[in-house]
Structure 1
Amino acid sequence: MIRNLLAVLTCFAVLSCSSPPDDGPANDLINLAHLSHLYEEFQVGDTRLGVIWIYCEAPDYQLVADSDEGFTCVDDVARALVFYCRRYTTHPSPEILEKIHSLTEFLFYMQAENGFFYNFMLPDKQPNQTHENSRAVPNFWTWRAFWALSE
């Protein structure tokens, strides 16, 4: 009986450790369409930055900036960076690696001299240094940026 139980447990362990074949996007449980829609890259000086737009409006999902805050923020970019870093471990691709690089560059671009981060970027591609939720202080967006950079 113990021998049979060990045989069953061994079979279960082997089967649970194997991965199903990867048939590409059709076999993927995660739909990246909306995140990809919010993603944009642009050049600032010699650096290519990747951002995640914070707002888009239905029904056509037009990307929209907020006149008070900006169009992207460290908080959302950091969360996307964590996702892409983890995604790369199971789905490595040059596209994901480029997003990891450009999103990381955005976080470095938004880091203030005091080590903390401005949260929002204005449409002119400059950090919003005056909005209450964008000052370079120890707040949730700074901690999230540090978390993302540690991934």
Structure 2
Amino acid sequence: MIRQLWRLTYALSLDEVSMCAPAVYAERKGRAWVLERADESGYEGVACVDDAARLAVLLLRAYKRFGLPWARDWAHGLIEFVKFMQEDDGSFVNFILDWDGKKNYHGPTSYPGGQPWLARGLWALAWHYIVFEDMDSLDRLRRGVELYLSQSHKFMDVNALVAYALLELYDHTHNQDFLGVALSICEEIASHHNHGLLLISEHDVYPHLWGYIQPGVLFKACQHTANAEWLDLANYSLRSYLAPMVRSGFDKTTTIPYEVSSAVLNFQLAYEHTADEEFSTLYTKAKSWFYGDNPAKSPVYDRNLGMVYDGIDNKVVSKNSGAESNIEGAMALFDDLPWHQYKLSEIE
């Protein structure tokens, strides 16, 4: 999957700054892979903050853990792209329309101020500061957080990602301001539930699985504050809703890697807080979906080709392999990947 992400990554020079970004999609055309544009909501563009920011976080984690120079250099290029896409008010434009760097200011999944790509941009900036203590990244993050707090929040999965980023930043800086904002966001997350089941929005009956990390984030928050209500909500949501899904191998019509990686993160954070072996078992079980423990009975992670496919639909594994699937797969399987064995050449 790291190899596929390398294949998808384009080098750019915008505003006289060298940077890079992963192409959004790749579809299989015979024996070849063809890079595709995002057009699910009308034409959106060729690359986006959503993917570049997550890939930057992945590589910054790899550099922090393993000290790999190629991960450092790749991450720097991605961070420059994220910074290029940030506006003066702290918001982000999500997509570039072409490889000349024209920003998509008007698309429904790209306009400045959209919260999902704002959250992911902030996560990347937080990690850039965690690893390199880059003051420009910290200043940009502060502007973005200020903007985010000025907005109303409809979607608790986005809230959870912002809180998670700030909790990780607090672990590094011990800055009480970051912790205070994270805990206030967690309070809002905890207010959105249906008889104990944490929800994405107030209109949900059951939450979708992709990006559903609220239980895990509440567990992480409780490392810094004693809140029995949050622990009850997190426990109930994982044990009653997510655990049966994981035990079934995500036995539903369609499952994408982002859904599975979100489950993996939930059980990882739950185990880190509780040391409950059931959570450890569910963490391992969720990861096994990528290796073939799924309704298709076939791996979604192709070790030989170095890629994660785009999911399972009606018990058939997709033959396409885009950026998000490989990023989320690598997030989920981070501890399983042979990081020191990757030999990556210069991005062309």
Compute the displacement of 1:138 (Å).
Answer: 4.3
Higher helix share: 2
Other-structure match for 2:242: none
2:60 matched residue in structure 1: 85
Residue in 2 that maps onto 1:14: none
Match of 2:37 in 1: 65
Of the candidates 46, 64, 71, which is equivalent to residue 96 of structure 1? 71
**Counterpart for residue 25 of structure 2:** 55
Corresponding residue of 1:42:
12
Figure out how many residues of one structure are paired with residues of the other and give that number: 121
| Alpha-carbon offset, residue 66 of structure 1 | 3.5
Q: Encode CA deviations 1:73-110: one digit per residue, 9 max, x unaligned.
A: 00001110110000112332322111111111101100
The residue aligned with 1:128 is 104
Higher relative contact order (CA 8 A, sep 6+): 1
Q: CA deviation at 1:64?
A: 1.9
Deviation at 1:36, TM superposition (A): 1.1
Partners of 2:20 and 2:78 within 8 A in 1: yes
2:261 corresponds to = none
Q: TM-score, normalised by structure 2?
A: 0.33
SS in 1 for 2:26: strand
Q: Identity of aligned pairs, percent?
A: 30
1:13 is matched with which residue? none
Partners of 2:96 and 2:66 lie apart in 1 by 30
Tell me which amino acid in the other structure corresponds to 2:16.
Answer: D
In structure 2, runs of 5+ residues without a counterpart are: 128-348
Mapped to 2, the partners of 1:126 and 1:82 lie a distance apart of 24
In 1: Cα distance, 2:103 partner to 2:123 partner:
20
Please give the secondary structure, in 1, of the residue aligned with 2:110.
coil
* Structure 1: gaps (5+ residues): 1-30
Amino acid of the structure 1 residue aligned with 2:89:
N
TM-score (norm. length: structure 1): 0.74
Alignment of 1:23-34 (within 5 A): 31-34=1-4
Matched position secondary structure for 1:61 = strand
Distance 2:79 2:123 in 1: 12
Question: 1:34 is aligned with what amino acid?
Answer: Q
Aligned 8 A contact 2:36 2:46 in 1? yes
